[in-house]
Structure 1
Amino acid sequence: MSGASPSPAATQAENTLFQEDGVLVTTERLVAGGRAWPLREVLRVEAIHQSPRVVPLLILLGASTVLGLPSIMTAMVARDALGPGIYEAALGCMAVVAFGSIAGLLLAQDQYWLVLRTRGSARRVLLSRDPEHISRLAQGVTEALRVARPRS
């Protein structure tokens, strides 16, 4: 039997520090969003908030009801009006745009991202509509990074 001591790599096995919702932090790396980063590259983890863009939907809704509907109705009663089928089709298209805009406004929700920052980039790795969930996840990953840093 040899009296040699185990190599440093063998004594520092990769241990899991945190694992939840597809995010894994070990003593050596962070895995999220289908990609792995060595811990030495990870500067910080953040939770960010992204509001939905509703201005384009409001513009479409306003234009279809304030401009579209009166324009179509005026053209329908004009002396040189085209056949009724054209105006029915135009009213149908305007209704689709208006109700589609309303549906988009009703379904619009805030989004929360878990963002991983490295020296070279910032990558959004996990999306949720629950701010507390993303915040807890960011805190857990940050704490795991804090624990792992002295070993790096």
Structure 2
Amino acid sequence: MSESLARPVALPSAENTLFQADGVLVTTERLVAGGRAWPLGEVLRVEAIHRAPRVIPLLVLLGASMMLGLPAVMTVMASSEALGPEVYAAALGCLGVVAFGSIAGLLVAQDDYWLVLRTRRSELRVFHSRDRQHISRLAQGVSEAIQAARLRS
């Protein structure tokens, strides 16, 4: 996923751009990302973090629909006090939607990667991508630019 700055950032005359990519700008004075700016002195560390998709709820839903829901509907359908066939068709249809929806959710689940800024006061997720290498390169470039700016100070 690639984003660029929505609008150019006006820089004071003494401020030079060290690094700019995908909506992240590092100058000799500050870091701009996610529509916010931080003085370089406040940024302690830049890192890439990984967040795995939450698949447990989908697995529980799939298991419950197949192991509990389907047998329950079939048992009630076979009983002597059965309702009309439309009710059971609707129940089986709902179970099918839940089961196949869970499977679809599992198939499209992807890892998330974030560019994270750590300051004295907080930890902020400032940029998101599904591409691990892209976020790693971005974090490394921003870190190097920040270190170079600190050496000049």
1:25 is aligned to: 26
TM-score (norm 1): 0.90
1:131 is aligned to: 132
For the pair shown, the structure with the greater C-alpha radius of gyration is: 1
Give the distance between the partners of 1:120 and 1:88, measured in 2 at CA.
57
1:86 is aligned to: 87
1:145 is aligned to: 146
Deviation at 1:151, TM superposition (A): 3.8
**Consecutive unaligned residues in structure 1, runs of 5 or more:** 1-9
2:58 is aligned to: 57
Give the distance between the partners of 1:147 and 1:43, measured in 2 at CA.
14
Residue correspondence of structure 1 range 38-117 to structure 2 within 5 A? 38-117=39-118
Give the distance between the partners of 1:100 and 1:59, measured in 2 at CA.
12
SS class of match (1:53): coil
Deviation at 1:84, TM superposition (A): 1.2
Where has structure 1 moved over 4 Å in runs of 4 or more? none
Per-residue CA deviations over 1:24-55 (Å, capped at 9, x if unaligned) read: 00011100011111111111100001100100
Question: Would you say how many aligned residue pairs link Structure 1 and Structure 2?
Answer: 142
Deviation at 1:148, TM superposition (A): 0.7
**Consecutive unaligned residues in structure 2, runs of 5 or more:** 1-11
SS class of match (1:81): coil
Give the distance between the partners of 1:40 and 1:130, measured in 2 at CA.
29
TM-score (norm 2): 0.89
